[in-house]
Amino acid sequence: MTYAVKEIFYTLQGEGANTGRAAVFLRFAGCNLWSGREEDRSTAVCQFCDTDFVGGSKFANAEQLAAAVAVEWLGAGDRFVVCTGGEPLLQLDRPLIDRLHEQGFEIAVETNGTIEAPAGLDWICVSPKANAPLVQTHGDELKVVYPQEGLDLETLENLQNLAFTYFFVQPMDGPDLDRNAELAAAYCLEHPRWRLSLQTHKLLGIR
């Protein structure tokens, strides 16, 4: 399989339960909820994406891509890779998971939840989107960008077979960020099962 990758870089995980942890980010190109082109944003299922996932490089096989990820790891200690996008589960498959494990990486994925995750992943973060099907109903963290019209957190929390260890709300970025942060904080105070996630990489000015 050929993999389309927007970028690979070493940074700190900025969001969710692994905030502050050193990681190689493997950002795949492409998404099933938005083309990535601004002219399509208003008609996309997900209209608030803050990530550029268009273009990049091609890798001919899993061995080449896993080796490229390993080159980016600059630290000592346990290796950690975050597979993101776009929507990484359009491309992340068992051969690549196996090759990354052979390189010594713990593997996390950040997905919109519309595609079932393959076996072998070490950490699954699902970030559901309004008006999109939620197929991946179990994992390590459920992280909801908040608020989203048409996505009710109490209804989501009560879905049958929903199984996550951590529940996060994260203020939607953009011109209303301050107001969204207030709403997210208030929701966590009123619903203590949910925790507040902030995009600390943006606060720090890093990738």
What lies within 8 Å, CB to CB, of 167 at 6+ separation is 141, 142, 157, 193, 194, 195
Q: Active-site residue among 9, 51, 116, 182?
A: 51
Q: Active-site residue among 31, 83, 125, 188?
A: 31
Annotated catalytic, 46? yes
Question: Which structure tokens are listed for 88?
Answer: 């990484």
Annotated catalytic, 105? no
Annotated catalytic, 25? yes
What lies within 8 Å, CB to CB, of 39 at 6+ separation is none
- CA–CA separation, 60 vs 73, rounded Å? 21
Q: Active-site residue among 49, 83, 125, 188?
A: 49
Q: Active-site residue among 101, 164, 200, 201?
A: 201
- CA–CA separation, 52 vs 15, rounded Å? 17
φ, ψ for residue 23, nearest 5 deg: -155, 150
- CA–CA separation, 90 vs 29, rounded Å? 9
Q: Active-site residue among 15, 28, 87, 110?
A: 110
Annotated catalytic, 188? no
Annotated catalytic, 191? no
For the beta sheet containing 3-12, the strands, ordered from the edge strand earlier in sequence to the opposite edge, are 57-59, 3-12, 22-28, 79-84, 105-111, 123-126, 138-146, 163-171, 194-196
Q: Active-site residue among 2, 9, 40, 50?
A: 50
Which residues does the annotation mark as catalytic?
A: 25, 31, 46, 49-51, 110, 201
